[in-house]
Chains A and B, each alone.
Chain A
Amino acid sequence: MTDPTRHTRHLRKQLVVVGHGMVGHRFVQAAIERGLTETYDIVVLGEEPRPAYDRVALTSFFEVGADALSFLPEGAYDDPRVTLRLNTEVVALDAAARTVTLAGGEQLRYDELVLATGAAPFVPPVPGKDLDNVFVYRTIEDLEAIREASRGARAGAVIGGGLLGLEAANALHQLGVPTHVVEMAPRLMAVQVDDAGGATLKRHIEELGLSVHTGVMTELIDGDADGKVSAIKFKDQDALPLDLVIFSAGIRPRDAIAREAGIDVAERGGVLVDEQCRSSDEHVWAIGECAAPGGRMYGLVAPGYTMAEVVVDTLLGGAAGAFTGADMSTKLKLLGVDVASFGDAFGTTEDCLELVFADAVAGIYKKLVVKENATGGFELLGGILVGDASAYGVLRPMVGSGMELPENPEELILPAGRGGGVELGLPDEAQVCSCNDVTKAQIKAAVSEDSTLNDGGPCSDAGCVTRCTRAGATCGSCKTVVKKIVEDHFAATGKTVDRSLCEHFAMTRQELFEVVAVHGYNRFDDIIEGHGRGRGCDICKPAVASILASLLNHHVLDGSNATLQDTNDAYLANLQKNGTYSVVPRIPGGEITPDRLIVIGEVAKEFGLYTKITGGQRIDLFGARMEDLPAIWKRLVDAGMESGHAYGKSLRTVKSCVGSTWCRYGVQDSVGMAIELELRYRGLRSPHKLKGGVSGCARECAEARSKDFGIIATEKGWNLYVCGNGGAIPAHAQLLAGDLDSATLIRYLDRFLMYYIRTADRLQRTSYWMDAIGGLDRIREVVVDDALGLGSELEAAMAQHVDSYFDEWKATIEDPEKLARFVSFVNAPGTPDPNITFREERGQIQAATNDGPVSLGATIPVGAPR
């Protein structure tokens, strides 16, 4: 069949998207995914110098850098029918001619126009607002300028104590600038929380060392002779000397080009659109913060995403969706304080009642707004949570669900020890994930037997549901609820989910781990006789081998253990495609002496090995014949090197940047810390491979956030990130705890790693494990808050590992019984396997394969080039 687009090219239409922010990007993504580019060429015009990035996480820019925030690090879409033009400002729109005019004068014709121009920060007309070092908080460029101005600043003020203002204050505080938060309203976050909640929040923030001024009017900003900010003056108060000011006093829709083109705009700004997000001109659409569906503007990203989907739907011409308003519920962590606000948070509904729990000492404030229904029960209308928002995931879906509250609704907000922690049954139509609009019914459908979401079958667990339905994939606050729904569903349908490891063990790896630990087993035979059937396979044997190694830290080739080991562990090396192995000595933290480098080079030359630098800052030697492994390791061990465990589901490396010992920017000794951690956890067998990284400053040159555990130095200590990985589905590690001293960092890491080893499924990497056990908050409860009281047990288990570590390669070359396995032929140990062949490329050997077995026969020469 020929390409159908070839014949219809002249019929293709042009769609222009103005704005490449989060919503513009989502629109393009949806357009590509759902086939809109089959009929439209899409031109995206972005004003900023870089492609769309995660503006919600803007504050983390100082920590993670621009690349980590980017949604499109490659700078272009995969689909050739989409053109992205950056640094391109649109100055005018002619709806009649269907053209837009760019800043350079160029005109672009469109068939359909989607405005996603977002919003601009509102700067009130305060005298001095145009001085140098007065900023807004919207783009990466703004943050770069703020960082520049923060150097040596005596103090700074953020004008605006709303959600964004507190984000900006957090950024300023992180930059080490004494920070003042200035709010005209009598409380912080006036839109989301009430007076009592605002007061609790204020206390938390003041405890962190920030100054909060509520109910004050900024009269003027004073400048010095250079035109730079020198002080701020509030009404009826003395001037406060400081060197920078950030305005964060709200946003205004950027609707200018539509307004000037005569398209209808809402009274309070924003392109007026209908439920399909179509403006008063039928070919002009508006989505995100620049749009005002029904006259109202939405300053959150989730409604913007919904609008983007609706427009794609409508343009596809199928069953069009509609945007009929959005849930403006919010849950976030501001300056380390949980804040959530949902539903009718202020109790504006007639005849509603408020239930309040406040603990000023602990800094917790919780309020529920409820109303009596026709049958005399109570329904939840909304609420506010400050200091502890853990109930948000359960409470928010109850709003508007029609569900009746339990008899003592106050228990919903009481701490667990005081009668709280009741069980709830949400109705099916309750929206569980507000970020991605997933209901309880959809979650249940995903795990029901006739589901085809997961590769044609039902989802297997909560983590799988998150991947397939996106429930919990954005902010993660509903993950515990998702997990509960999935488990309840399985329990209710009486279907025991087959979580068997394999046909030989009808239990999960976690259950098997407990069985082995409780019984103190140390042999596979006892385990399978007592708890399994048959004689095992390539799935359960390595799983048992890993569990035994984690618990006992014995030699993996001891006794009958040897026959359980997976391919690589069985010969303590990585099997390559032609039957040879690769060898990786440990190079902790990537630090190596010239003498050891020379030994590695000599070994490679002597044994004819291909050498390559690995991603984990080590050197991999390829092409080793199995029978040569002991001799290779003898040389390496004699030179003081040890196994790098590159072959194990175990700790691989802890990568580091050069850190404060050499780097001009480094704030801590990242190499020293990486070496300490790598030596501490070396040889630790785990459900999957484990990688770590340590960066000496926020520039993050060690790419620590792509690791299972990543540590980034701060001025005050270390930030600990967990559950990241590279690979096919990359995941950024998330902040578990900040500004830790070295001892606390190691304590948390000990607990984290042991908790993972005990509870993860086989071959489940940390990011998937996190989803399955209930998200980062759950890990924090166990590891940081020690909610299960497991802390000391996990630490003791790790201490036992550290104390009993030995180099398994050194032990192997000293043990004739283990060495006996390393032969080419049991009856001809001196004869190399003729099946192993190599070819040469770029001056080194490469693996070659043969179509069939190679016979030595009587005449065929033995072996390969050596």
Chain B
Amino acid sequence: MTPVCRLDQIRRESGVTALVDGEAVAVFRTYDDEVFALSNFDPYGKASVLSRGIVGTRTVQREDGDEQVPFVASPLLKQPFDLRTGACLDDPAVAVPTWQVRVVDGVVLVGARRETLAS
């Protein structure tokens, strides 16, 4: 896994862009210090910007009740992406790739691109 930065270099509820194997990866930190990594490329706006979006939560109704989904809104046209899966919350047919990521001793490590979407 590639160490990209210290966790405290990412403000809570924001993202940074990391260069991982030649690709721009957006790494986000949520309010409760969870870390997620998505492609930085916004498939709607077709630009490498997602790490600069606003991070928050959205209530999504599921069969088994409401769920609080951490998401980032694209800074271009505000499409919301689920930080955990990369899925667009307004259009389930669209998703951005996600990367494995974890924090070890205060350092954020980004691993391999995930092959399939988690759900």
Chain A positions within 8 Å of B, measured between CB atoms, are 503-504, 534-538, 540-542, 560, 562-564, 566-567, 570-571, 575, 577-579, 626, 820, 824-828, 831, 833-836, 849-858, 860
Contact = CB atoms under 8 A, between A and B. Distances in A.
Given A535-B30, A535-B56, 7 more contacts: A537-B73, A541-B54, A827-B2, A833-B17, A836-B47, A849-B46, A853-B24
B4 interface: yes
Contacts of A579: 47-49
Contact of B22 (A562, A826, A827, A855): A855
B95 interface: no
A628 B16 CA distance: 16
A64 B40 CA distance: 50
Given A538-B53, A570-B75, A563 B11 contact: yes
Contacts of B24: 825, 833-835, 853
A537 B22 CA distance: 31
A853 B19 contact: no
Nearest to B71: A537
Contacts of B14: 562-563
B13 interface: yes
A530 to B, nearest CB: 16
Given A534-B68, A562-B11, A563-B11, A826 B17 contact: yes
B5 to A, nearest CB: 5
A767 to B, nearest CB: 24
Contacts of A856: 19, 22-23
Contacts of B9: 820, 826
A535 B2 CA distance: 29
A575 B40 contact: no
Shortest beta-carbon contacts, A-B, top 5 = A835-B48, A538-B73, A856-B22, A567-B75, A853-B41
A503 B23 CA distance: 35
A661 B11 CA distance: 51
Contacts of A855: 21-23
A853 B48 contact: yes
B115 to A, nearest CB: 17
29 contacts: A535-B57, A537-B54, A537-B58, A538-B54, A541-B54, A542-B54, A562-B11, A563-B14, A563-B54, A563-B55, A567-B52, A567-B53, A570-B52, A579-B49, A824-B17, A825-B18, A825-B24, A826-B4, A827-B3, A828-B19, A833-B48, A835-B47, A836-B48, A852-B41, A853-B40, A853-B41, A855-B22, A856-B23, A857-B22
B61 to A, nearest CB: 11
B59 A858 contact: no
Q: Which of A534, A853, A854 has the most CB of B within 10 A?
A: A853
Nearest to A559: B11
B42 to A, nearest CB: 9
A37 B60 CA distance: 49
A828 B21 CA distance: 12
B5 A827 contact: yes
Interface residues of B, number: 45
A563 B19 contact: no
Contacts of A541: 54, 56
B76 interface: yes
B108 to A, nearest CB: 9
Nearest to B97: A853
Interface of B: 2-5, 9-14, 16-19, 21-24, 27, 30-31, 39-41, 45-49, 52-59, 68, 70-71, 73, 75-76, 78, 80
Contact of B76 (A575, A835, A854, A858): A575
Q: Which of A538, A564, A831 has the most CB of B within 10 A?
A: A538
B57 A537 contact: yes
Given A503-B59, A535-B31, A577-B47, A831 B54 contact: no
B56 A534 contact: yes
Contacts of B40: 835, 853
B16 to A, nearest CB: 4
Nearest to B73: A538
Contacts, number: 126
Q: Which of B39, B40, B58 has the most CB of A within 10 A?
A: B58
A855 B53 CA distance: 21
B99 to A, nearest CB: 12
A856 to B, nearest CB: 4
Contacts of B31: 535
Contacts of B39: 853
Contacts of A836: 47-48
A853 B11 contact: no
B95 to A, nearest CB: 14
B52 to A, nearest CB: 6
Contacts of A538: 53-54, 56, 73, 78, 80
B112 to A, nearest CB: 14
B38 to A, nearest CB: 11
Given A563-B12, A577-B45, A827 B4 contact: yes
Contacts of A854: 48
A575 B50 CA distance: 12
A560 to B, nearest CB: 7
Nearest to B42: A579
A538 B71 CA distance: 10
Contact of B13 (A563, A567, A835): A563
B54 A566 contact: yes
Contacts of B2: 827
B56 to A, nearest CB: 4
A856 B40 CA distance: 14
A818 B13 CA distance: 16
Contact of A575 (B11, B19, B71, B75): B75
A836 B45 CA distance: 12
Contacts of B5: 826-827
Contacts of B68: 534-535
Nearest to A820: B9
Given A503-B59, A567-B76, A855-B23, A826 B16 contact: yes
Q: Which of A563, A571, A831, A850 has the most CB of B within 10 A?
A: A563
A827 B19 contact: yes
B57 A536 contact: yes
A536 B23 contact: no
Contacts of B75: 567, 570, 575
Contacts of B21: 855, 857
Contacts of A860: 22
B103 to A, nearest CB: 14
A858 B45 CA distance: 26
B92 to A, nearest CB: 19
A825 B5 CA distance: 10
A835 B9 CA distance: 23
Nearest to B30: A535
Nearest to A835: B48
B83 to A, nearest CB: 12
Contact of B23 (A540, A578, A853): A853
B72 to A, nearest CB: 9
A252 B14 CA distance: 72
A560 B12 contact: yes
A527 to B, nearest CB: 13
A851 B44 CA distance: 10
A696 B71 CA distance: 51
A514 to B, nearest CB: 23
Contacts of B76: 567, 575, 577
A579 B51 CA distance: 11
